[in-house]
Amino acid sequence: MSKLIRREFVMACLGASCLHALGNTERRPIRFAMTPAFLHDQHALLAEWRVYLEARLKRPVEFIQRDRYRDTMDLLQQQKVEFAWICDYPYVMLKNEVRLLSVAVNNDKPTYRSYLIVPTRDTQTRSVLDLKGSVFAYADPYSNTGYLVPRFEIKSSGADPATFFKRTFFTWSHRKVIDAVAAGLVQGATVDSYVWDSLSQVRPDITAKTRIAWKSEEYGFPPMVAHSDVPEADFKRMQDILLGMANEPQGRALLKRLNLDGFITGTPKLYDRVAEMMRLFGEP
């Protein structure tokens, strides 16, 4: 074989190898982490959403669910996922490591609240300050509505959140917070308004055992984020797909099941108030 032929053969092989590697990159799954605040135990809906995204991305999609917010934060920091749907609190903590991808719109607003809920037999409680000395449930130590908000209200009153209640514990999900109040295991808890409102549509028998005693101010809806190292093309493609869901029948059907109106690009300013509350506790 002549030197010229050998060189052309080697170049052809290298070219084929590069194309093969590129093909593998394009087929590598897009990994999307979900916190327990969303889609908990709704595996069929998550499977349909995965198929929807795969058809538009032309890439496999893998949803990764974790039971604690800290676990989802770790996945992002360790770059084991490209995207995640997280809470406001983790977003503010990870602001230098992630990019805001999109924000959900619920009831025509990209916001939500913290609900203070109590058993229906409690007709007197009007604020978390009325529950001093009671048993109280928290959702997660990195939850805005289920942990930061009630502690902020207590600390702002001059009391110490660490000693205000007789006993506290974490349920590790907003759904379980509602279950704990409904079952009378605790005298009160704060919960993500989106989760309570969504559950009231599918399991009104559970939410009917609770009463909303107080509603907080509005905060930016828990955001979808991308790790800061995600390629711009992947970021833009995922963002465009999410923003376009409300513009097509299949996307609207999924949004309806998610109890959402759609997604917008949003702005980090939506989370300024959460950052202010965090600073009262020396964070971030």
User: Given 182, 200, 216, which residue is the final one in a domain?
Assistant: 216
Please indicate, yes or no, if residue 212 is contained in any of the structural domains. Answer: yes
pLDDT at 21: 41
pLDDT for 37: 62
Please tell me the pTM assigned to this model: 0.88
Last residue of a domain, one of 194, 216, 238: 216
- Tell me what pLDDT residue 179 has: 96
Residue 67 confidence (pLDDT): 84
Residues near 158 by Cβ (< 8 Å), separated by ≥ 6? none
Q: Is residue 283 part of a domain?
A: no
Regarding whether 198 and 212 lie in a shared domain, the answer is yes
Tens of pLDDT along the chain (284 residues) come to: 554 445 544 444 444 444 444 444 457 899 999 876 655 557 788 899 999 999 999 999 999 988 899 999 999 999 999 999 999 999 999 999 999 999 999 999 999 999 999 999 999 999 999 999 999 999 999 999 999 999 999 999 999 999 999 999 999 999 999 999 999 999 999 999 999 999 999 899 999 999 999 999 999 999 999 999 999 999 999 999 999 999 999 999 999 999 999 999 999 999 999 999 999 999 87
Residue 174 contacts residue 139 (beta carbons within 8 Å): yes
What token pair was written down for 156?
A: 């702002």
**In b/e form, how buried is each residue of 205-223, taking b as 16+ CB within 10 angstroms?**
ebbebbbbbbebeebbbbb
Joined together, the tokens standing for residue 95 give 């602001």
Q: Domain check: are 139 and 206 in the same one?
A: yes
The full 3-state SS of 93-109, as one line of letters, equals HCCCCEEEEEEEEECCE
User: In angstroms, how far is CA 197 from the centroid of its own chain?
Assistant: 16
Report if residue 1 sits inside a domain. no
Pair 135, 78 in one domain: no
How far does CA 162 lie from the centroid of its chain? 26
pLDDT value for 157 = 97
Q: State whether 145 and 15 are in the same domain.
A: no
Domain containing 93 equals 7-106+222-270
Q: Check whether residue 75 and residue 199 sit in a common domain.
A: no
- Domain co-membership, 86 together with 127: no
Give how many domains the chain has, as a whole number. 2
The CATH number assigned to the domain holding 229 equals 3.40.190.10
Token pair recorded at residue 103 = 């924000």
Helices and strands (H and E) in the chain: how many: 12, 13
From residue 243, alpha-carbon distances to 86, 93, 169 in Å are 18, 25, 38
